Structure 1
Amino acid sequence: MIAIINSFFFPIVTEVTTRLAQRYDAGGGLDMHALAAKICAEAPENEKPGILFDEACQFVFSEKKQGIENFVISYTFDTPNRLKLLRGLLSRYDNEIYAFRLCFSPMVLTALLSPFPSETGHAYNHWDMQQEEGANIGDMGYEIPVTSDDPETIVQAIWDDIHEPVELSDYQSEWPDMFMNEKTRILNALHGMPGELEHIGSTAIPNMIAKPVLDMLLIIEDLRKARQYIRPLRELGYAFIDYPQNTTRLFFRKGKPRSHHIHIVEKESPAARDHLHFRNALLSDALLREEYLHLKQEALQEHQFCRALYGERKTTLIRKALARYRAYTKNRVS
C-alpha cells in the first residue's frame, strides 16, 4: 500500500506522514520536500519534478526489497497531472495506491500560519486556488477535512478511509427508486452533456446482498472527453479518484461513509459491456446469483478491511460468468 498526502508544506504534515507510517508493522515514510532539498538544489527548475519523482520511486523500490510493504509519502502538488504522474510511476511497485489532500479549516489554518510571515499566507492562498482549479479537471487527492491541529486526528481520518470496512446489507426495496432519483439529479447537473446512466452492481439485483452503495454506469461516446464531467459531478459531491489502473474508465465516489459510485465508460467499450453483461447475467441466472452471494460472504470474511482485495476476490467468478453469459446469448442469436 502507498498513501500519498498532498498538502501545503506545514511542519504538521511531516508529523502526520511519520505517524501514519508508524501504524503499519512494515511501514515507511517519505517527506519529498526533504528529499527535494537534498537532490534538486542545483537542477534546472523544469527538470526538478522528474528528478524528484525518479528518486522517490528508487527509494520505494529499495525499501520494498528490504521488506517495507506500506509507504506514506507527502508532497505539495500544484496540478493533477503532477500527482497523476507520481501515482503512475509508483504503480510499478504497488497496485494499491491512495491519494489524499488535506483541507484545513479557517481556524486550523490561522493557527498553522501564525508562526510564519504574511508571505506564507499569500503562498497558501495561491496553492489553495490551484487545488480547487485542479480538482475540477483531475484528481488532487481525496479531501480530508482538517478541523484540529492534532496530528493524530488527521492520521486517524486517513487511516479510517484507507481501511473503510466492507459492509454487506440485505436487499433494500428502495434502491431502484434511489437510483432513479440520483439519475435525475445527475442528468440535470450535466445540463445536456451526452450520457446514459445505468444501474449496475449488486444493488441492481433484487434480493441480492450488497454493499449499501449505489453503483452507476455513465456511458458516453468518447472517453477522451470524460474529464469535462468532473466539475458538474463534483458539484453534486462526487470525488474523482484517478487510480492508475483505471485506463478504460473514470471512477467517482460520494459520501462518508460512501453511498454512491459512478463509473464513466465509453459506449460499446469492453468496460461498458463487462458491467452490463455481468448485471444481466445475474438477473437471468438464479444459480449464478446464489454462487455470487456465497462468494461475497466469503470475501467479506477474508478482506473486510481491504476493499481492493475484496474486489479482487470476486474476479475469477465474474470472468467465468461473463464467458458463460456471452456464449449463451451468442447461441440464442445463432
Structure 2
Amino acid sequence: MTSIQDDSNSTSKSDEAIQKVTVGESKPHNAPITLQEYNPHWPKLFNKEANRIRSVLGNKILQLEHVGSTSVPGLCAKPIIDILLVVKDSADESTYVSDLEEAGYTLRIREPEWFEHRLFKGPDTDINLHVFSKGASEVDRMLRFRNWLRTNNTDRDKYAAVKRNLAGREWRHVQHYADAKDSIVQEIMERAKAIE
C-alpha cells in the first residue's frame, strides 16, 4: 500500500527513489513474488503483534488495524502481516520510534512527502507496520479497500487473479510489484466509493 514518490515518468520507481526513503540499505529483490493461499493463522499473528505494540505504545495508539491482503479471508497474499498504526503525528518520531526500536522493531521506510508514512519491520514475525497520523486520508483508503474485499467476493477474486498474474514476473523491487497493482486497486476503489 505504500507509494514511494518519484518525479520521473517511469511507472517503476528508480533505485534512487527507493533508496531515498529507505532507512538503511535498500537491497533489490530481483525475483518473482511469493504468494500463499489465505491462512487462517494470519489474524492470530496480527493479534500477537497488536498486543505487543499496545504494550509498547499504550495510549499513544489512536488506531491499530489488520490491513492488506492477509486481513481478507479467502485472498492470496505475501505471507507478511500488514498492520496499520495511527498516532497523533507520525512525523514526530520522538513520540514513538525509540519505544518501538527498544522492543525490537526496525524503522525501514520514511516517506515525509506521502502522508508522513513510516514503516517498521517486526522483531520476529514478518510484518509491515505502517504508521500514519490521525486524519491522513490513506488510513480511510486502506480500511475501505480491506472492508470492501471482505464483503465483495467478485472483486476479491478479481484482485487475486491480477496479483497471481503479476507475482509470476521477476521484480527488481517488491515496491514495483505493489505499484503494478495500482490500476486494479483504483478500479475496485471506484466501485466501493460508488456504493457509499
Same fold (TM over 0.5): yes
Give the structure 1 partner of residue 92 of structure 2: 225
Give the structure 2 partner of residue 277 of structure 1: 144
Paired with 1:190 and 1:221, the residues of 2 have a C-alpha distance of 12
8 Å contact kept, 1:98–1:162: no
| Cα distance change on mapping 1:276 and 1:234 into 2, 3 Å | same
| Cα distance change on mapping 1:227 and 1:276 into 2, 3 Å | farther
> Following TM superposition, by how much is the alpha carbon of 1:192 offset from its aligned partner in structure 2, in angstroms?
3.2
Identity, in percent, stands at 25
Give the structure 2 partner of residue 78 of structure 1: none
**Does 2:55 match 1:176?**
no
Give the alignment partner of residue 96 of structure 1, picking from 18, 43, 49. Answer: 18
Paired with 1:315 and 1:225, the residues of 2 have a C-alpha distance of 29
Give the structure 2 partner of residue 59 of structure 1: none
Q: How does 1:184-203 map to 2 (within 5 A)?
A: 184-203=51-70
| Cα distance change on mapping 1:303 and 1:236 into 2, 3 Å | farther
- Deviations 1:142-201, CA, capped at 9 Å, x for gaps: 5xxxxxxxxxxxxxxx7xx42275311111111111111110111101143233210000
8 Å contact kept, 2:21–2:111: no
**Does 2:121 match 1:253?**
yes
Paired with 2:88 and 2:112, the residues of 1 have a C-alpha distance of 21
Paired with 2:48 and 2:175, the residues of 1 have a C-alpha distance of 29
TM-score by length of 1: 0.49
Give the structure 1 partner of residue 29 of structure 2: 163
Paired with 1:227 and 1:288, the residues of 2 have a C-alpha distance of 40
CA RMSD between the two structures: 2.7
8 Å contact kept, 2:67–2:142: yes
> Following TM superposition, by how much is the alpha carbon of 1:245 offset from its aligned partner in structure 2, in angstroms?
6.7
Give the structure 2 partner of residue 134 of structure 1: none
Paired with 1:325 and 1:195, the residues of 2 have a C-alpha distance of 25
**Structure 1 residue runs without a partner (length 5+):** 1-90, 101-138, 143-157, 330-334
Give the 3-state SS of the residue equivalent to 1:295 in structure 2: helix
Give the 3-state SS of the residue equivalent to 1:209 in structure 2: coil
> Following TM superposition, by how much is the alpha carbon of 1:210 offset from its aligned partner in structure 2, in angstroms?
0.6
* Paired letter, 1:283: R
- Deviations 1:40-83, CA, capped at 9 Å, x for gaps: xxxxxxxxxxxxxxxxxxxxxxxxxxxxxxxxxxxxxxxxxxxx
**Does 2:168 match 1:301?**
yes
Give the 3-state SS of the residue equivalent to 2:147 in structure 1: helix
Q: Which has the larger radius of gyration?
A: 1
> Which region of structure 1 is more displaced relative to structure 2, 222-231 or 307-316?
222-231
Give the 3-state SS of the residue equivalent to 1:180 in structure 2: helix
8 Å contact kept, 1:303–1:309: no
Paired with 2:30 and 2:103, the residues of 1 have a C-alpha distance of 22
**Does 2:159 match 1:292?**
yes
Q: Which is bigger in relative contact order (C-alpha 8 A, separation at least 6)?
A: 2
> Following TM superposition, by how much is the alpha carbon of 1:93 offset from its aligned partner in structure 2, in angstroms?
8.8
* Paired letter, 1:293: A
| Cα distance change on mapping 1:320 and 1:326 into 2, 3 Å | same
Give the structure 1 partner of residue 6 of structure 2: none
Paired with 1:189 and 1:255, the residues of 2 have a C-alpha distance of 13
8 Å contact kept, 2:111–2:118: no
> Following TM superposition, by how much is the alpha carbon of 1:306 offset from its aligned partner in structure 2, in angstroms?
2.5
Paired with 1:210 and 1:176, the residues of 2 have a C-alpha distance of 13
* Paired letter, 1:163: H
| Cα distance change on mapping 1:173 and 1:322 into 2, 3 Å | same
TM-score by length of 2: 0.81
| Cα distance change on mapping 1:222 and 1:211 into 2, 3 Å | same
> Following TM superposition, by how much is the alpha carbon of 1:280 offset from its aligned partner in structure 2, in angstroms?
1.0
> Following TM superposition, by how much is the alpha carbon of 1:236 offset from its aligned partner in structure 2, in angstroms?
2.8
Give the structure 2 partner of residue 314 of structure 1: 181
